[in-house]
Structure 1
């Protein structure tokens, strides 16, 4: 596979993805941002909470937010599944890994919500612990910050988990379809002009068996349609 295809911004149509991401944020009531394997955002932050936006603008608190994101992402990669956790502000976040050919290429970071009081749920790991005194001081000493913190939406754990699973399945489906299209392009690039020494390895390296089987079906349909028209 071409190396560039391991970059999410080369696989996804970012303009369409951003519009979809905005819609998903509205439907799931989660803030969502897509990052590459380095943790660098490749999309805008959909429905970002004013509290989290304020914290990330502050160099001191931003470092803590980034550490939580990094650790959450690592856990998601390790389990190859959505990972739901708590940040240092006790806010629920989700890391959804995007893995292609056993390689981590990026993630969808979602969340910025609270769990409803009294809601029963599995214990959630807090990625980073801030001393309680410091935590309270940051909130209590600033009425505006406290107000922003209180305005963070509240969801049940079931709603959060269902949204995480939906995003995981949807994202992997979209990426898989994009990979199939990229493989088609590589096939045509290799075949035009046709090379006498063309081998399967030239066009299939890095792609999964499912990718190749899907493309075989697509090419077979194309040939059949062309034959029928002729």
Structure 2
């Protein structure tokens, strides 16, 4: 099997590019992904001027690709991230991508100098010294390379390694596609099988989304009810228990299914009713769903996931006058749900985590089920709150 094709089939290159761009933005380091030969498979992210200029020259690109091929192979042999110095004396880190015990590529990041003794010397290869003499402007750009603490580099590569391993674990469906192709199954049967497996994976994701949310929510809810029971032994406690029972029934009834917006809103109201035990009048909610949008189908717990995250990470820090507004309507043959709040806001890395964390993986879930055009867009403003825009198809 061709290794380049395997890399593209088993790991979504668009997803890798998006992830690479985000990691580069968060860490302020250069990132790129290469095949087993050391050749880049996508666009560079946050490359420094020196490395970009060096790679614009054929001899420089050959040096870099050769170093990447060696660094990636070393990381695969060691079965862990490999820290090394490139021909220019800069520190790079290779995270191996190994599937079925086959090394198919690596994620690289770095292009920096560091304080660890074994990497602190800036000794350069003869080829680089020759290129510096031939292209003085590249040598001048080298002086602008920044230092990054070695401890920070190690922390970053630990996180990147976890993310890469998660992406590898998501490759099962594409491997099934390969098996179907290699077994020469007829096209129609192949399409039916892939559709079946994809739907099975999506409904599995439904359950995967609901399970951690259900557990976290139930624990938080029981905590609220038990606290209430300590200070009173009357009507409110009974009402809270009844409301919680309604939510529990909703969760168990809709695992692996879609629900209408109207049903999801009813569940949200129950959730907010219980949250009012904790926050009293500190947080208010207004829900406006136009009639023709109430029957639209949505993955259950989607809206509640974002509302719970906003309350926990943004609104809970406000001492008064917190609010959430949920608007739902149909715009240009699409269902659009907008959730706004006036909390402290959510940091960009938290937004990335909210969409891509291993518990919910809601970003992938939306892409897989609705298609890439139906993305979740989150805008956060520090101390002003968040705007979450969710688009869904009219018929799914």
TM-score (ref. length: structure 2): 0.42
Q: Which residue of 1 aligns with 2:129?
A: 135
Q: Which residue of 2 aligns with 1:111?
A: 110
Structure that is richer in strand per residue: 2
Matched-pair contact (CA < 8 Å) for 2:32–2:44:
yes
Matched, 1:37 2:36: yes
Using a 3 Å threshold, how does the CA distance of structure 1 residues 136 and 24 change in structure 2: closer, same or farther? Answer: same
Counterpart CA distance in 1 for 2:175 and 2:254 is: 20
Q: Which residue of 2 aligns with 1:19?
A: 18
Matched-pair contact (CA < 8 Å) for 2:89–2:124:
no
Post-superposition offset of 1:36: 2.0
Superposed, which structure 2 residues align to 1:50-129 within 5 Å? Answer: 50-115=49-114, 119=115, 121=116, 123-124=118-119
Matched-pair contact (CA < 8 Å) for 1:31–1:111:
yes
Q: Deviations over 1:76-103 (max 9, x none)?
A: 1110111011112110111110111111
Counterpart CA distance in 2 for 1:87 and 1:52 is: 11
Equivalent position SS for 1:104 = strand
Using a 3 Å threshold, how does the CA distance of structure 1 residues 180 and 145 change in structure 2: closer, same or farther? Answer: same
Matched, 1:160 2:153: yes
Counterpart CA distance in 1 for 2:46 and 2:105 is: 20
Matched-pair contact (CA < 8 Å) for 1:5–1:11:
no
Using a 3 Å threshold, how does the CA distance of structure 1 residues 157 and 81 change in structure 2: closer, same or farther? Answer: same
Counterpart CA distance in 1 for 2:130 and 2:256 is: 73
Using a 3 Å threshold, how does the CA distance of structure 1 residues 82 and 218 change in structure 2: closer, same or farther? Answer: same
Using a 3 Å threshold, how does the CA distance of structure 1 residues 135 and 28 change in structure 2: closer, same or farther? Answer: same
Post-superposition offset of 1:186: 7.3
Post-superposition offset of 1:174: 1.5
Using a 3 Å threshold, how does the CA distance of structure 1 residues 228 and 77 change in structure 2: closer, same or farther? Answer: closer
Counterpart CA distance in 2 for 1:45 and 1:228 is: 39
Counterpart CA distance in 2 for 1:17 and 1:141 is: 33
- Structure 1 residue runs of 5 or longer lacking an equivalent are 195-214
Equivalent position SS for 2:118 = coil
Higher RCO structure (Cα 8 Å, ≥6 apart): 1
Q: Deviations over 1:16-59 (max 9, x none)?
A: 32122101011122211112223332211111111011111222
Q: How many residues align?
A: 197
Matched-pair contact (CA < 8 Å) for 2:20–2:45:
yes
- Structure 2 residue runs of 5 or longer lacking an equivalent are 191-200, 209-251, 258-396
Post-superposition offset of 1:161: 1.3
Counterpart CA distance in 1 for 2:141 and 2:62 is: 20
Matched-pair contact (CA < 8 Å) for 1:73–1:97:
yes
Using a 3 Å threshold, how does the CA distance of structure 1 residues 141 and 59 change in structure 2: closer, same or farther? Answer: closer
Superposed, which structure 2 residues align to 1:158-197 within 5 Å? Answer: 158-177=151-170, 179-182=171-174
Q: Which residue of 1 aligns with 2:141?
A: 148
Using a 3 Å threshold, how does the CA distance of structure 1 residues 169 and 149 change in structure 2: closer, same or farther? Answer: same
Using a 3 Å threshold, how does the CA distance of structure 1 residues 122 and 81 change in structure 2: closer, same or farther? Answer: farther
Matched-pair contact (CA < 8 Å) for 1:96–1:108:
yes
